[in-house]
Chain A
Amino acid sequence: MSRDSTAGVLERVGAIDLGVWQVPLGLLAVAVLLRPVVSHDLMLGYPQVASSFLIWMIIVASFNLLMGYTGLISFGHAMFMGIGTYSVAIALSSLAVPFLLAAPLGILFSAGVAYLIGRLIAHKGEIYFAMLTLAFAKSAHFVANYNPGGLTGGTTGLADGTTPAWIETSRGFTYVVLGGFRIDWYWAVAAVFVVGLLLLWQLVRSPFGRTLVAVRENEALARSMGVNVRRYKVWAFTFAAAFAALGGVLLEINNQGATLSELSIVTSGNIIIMAVLGGANYFFGPLAGVFVWMFVEEYLTDFHTLVLPLTEVPLLRIELTGVLAYWQFFLGLLFVVAVLVSPREGVLGLAKATVARLSARIRGESE
Chain B
Amino acid sequence: MSLLEVRDLDAGYETGQVLFGVDLDVERDEVVSLLGRNGAGKTTTMRSIVGADEPTVRGGSITFDGHDLLATEAHDIPRLGLSLVPEARRCFGDLTVTENIRLAAHHATNPRDVAAMFERFPELDDMRDRPARHMSGGEQQMLAIARSLVTNPQMILLDEPCEGLAPYIVRRIEDIIHEISENEGVTILLVEQNVAVALATADRHYLIDEGHIVDEVTTERLREDETLRQRYLGV
Q: Are A217 and B92 in contact (CB under 8 A)?
A: yes
Return chain A residues, CB-CB under 8 Å to B102.
Answer: 207, 210
Q: Are B86 and A226 in contact (CB under 8 A)?
A: no
Return chain B residues, CB-CB under 8 Å to A225.
Answer: 78, 103-104, 107, 147, 151
- CB-defined interface of B179-210 with A at 8 Å, one 1/0 digit per residue? 00000000000000000000000000000000
Q: How far is the CB of A87 from chain B (nearest CB, A)?
A: 35
Return chain A residues, CB-CB under 8 Å to B26.
Answer: none
A229 to B103 Cα, complex, angstroms = 14
Q: Is B134 an interface residue (CB 8 A)?
A: yes
Q: Are A211 and B107 in contact (CB under 8 A)?
A: yes
Q: Are B107 and A210 in contact (CB under 8 A)?
A: no
Say whether, besides A210-B103, A211-B107, A218-B90, A224 and B78 are in contact (CB < 8 Å): yes
Q: Is B171 an interface residue (CB 8 A)?
A: no
A208 to B95 Cα, complex, angstroms = 13
A103 to B77 Cα, complex, angstroms = 42
Q: Is B75 an interface residue (CB 8 A)?
A: yes
Q: Is A221 an interface residue (CB 8 A)?
A: yes
A207 to B78 Cα, complex, angstroms = 18
A227 to B103 Cα, complex, angstroms = 10
Q: Are B86 and A224 in contact (CB under 8 A)?
A: yes
Q: How far is the CB of A192 from chain B (nearest CB, A)?
A: 29
Interface residues on A, range: 20 to 34
Q: Are A229 and B75 in contact (CB under 8 A)?
A: yes
A227 to B77 Cα, complex, angstroms = 10
Q: Is A341 an interface residue (CB 8 A)?
A: no
Return chain A residues, CB-CB under 8 Å to B131.
Answer: 7
Q: How far is the CB of A352 from chain B (nearest CB, A)?
A: 16
Q: Are A211 and B84 in contact (CB under 8 A)?
A: no
Residue of A210, A220, A226 near B52 (CB, 8 A) is: A220
Q: Are B50 and A227 in contact (CB under 8 A)?
A: no
Q: Are A223 and B106 in contact (CB under 8 A)?
A: no
Q: Are A210 and B75 in contact (CB under 8 A)?
A: no
Return chain B residues, CB-CB under 8 Å to A217.
Answer: 92-95
Q: Is A4 an interface residue (CB 8 A)?
A: yes
Q: Is B76 an interface residue (CB 8 A)?
A: yes
Say whether, besides A207-B102, A207-B106, A210-B103, A224 and B93 are in contact (CB < 8 Å): no
- CB proximity to B under 8 Å, residues A213-235: 213-214, 216-218, 220-229
Q: Is B108 an interface residue (CB 8 A)?
A: yes
A220 to B74 Cα, complex, angstroms = 9
Return chain A residues, CB-CB under 8 Å to B94.
Answer: 213, 216-217
Q: Is B37 an interface residue (CB 8 A)?
A: no
Q: How far is the CB of B84 from chain A (nearest CB, A)?
A: 5
Return chain B residues, CB-CB under 8 Å to A207.
Answer: 102-103, 106
Q: How far is the CB of A8 from chain B (nearest CB, A)?
A: 8
Q: How far is the CB of A5 from chain B (nearest CB, A)?
A: 11
- CB-defined interface of B115-135 with A at 8 Å, one 1/0 digit per residue? 000000000000000010110
Residue of B93, B107, B147 near A227 (CB, 8 A) is: B107
Q: How far is the CB of A348 from chain B (nearest CB, A)?
A: 16
Return chain B residues, CB-CB under 8 Å to A211.
Answer: 103, 106-107
A218 to B89 Cα, complex, angstroms = 13
Chain B residues in the interface with A (C-beta under 8 A): 50, 52-53, 73-79, 84, 86, 90, 92-95, 99, 102-104, 106-108, 131, 133-134, 147, 151
Across the A-B interface, give the 5 residue pairs with the lowest CB-CB distance, nearest first: A226-B78, A226-B107, A207-B106, A224-B84, A228-B75
Chain A residues in the interface with B (C-beta under 8 A): 4, 7, 207, 210-211, 213-214, 216-218, 220-229
Supply 15 A–B pairs (Cβ within 8 Å), ascending by A.
A7-B131, A207-B102, A210-B99, A210-B102, A211-B103, A211-B106, A217-B95, A220-B53, A221-B86, A223-B74, A225-B103, A226-B78, A226-B108, A226-B151, A227-B107
Sample of 8 more A-B contacts, CB < 8 Å, known A221-B92, A226-B76: A210-B99, A211-B106, A221-B86, A222-B92, A224-B77, A224-B84, A225-B103, A225-B107
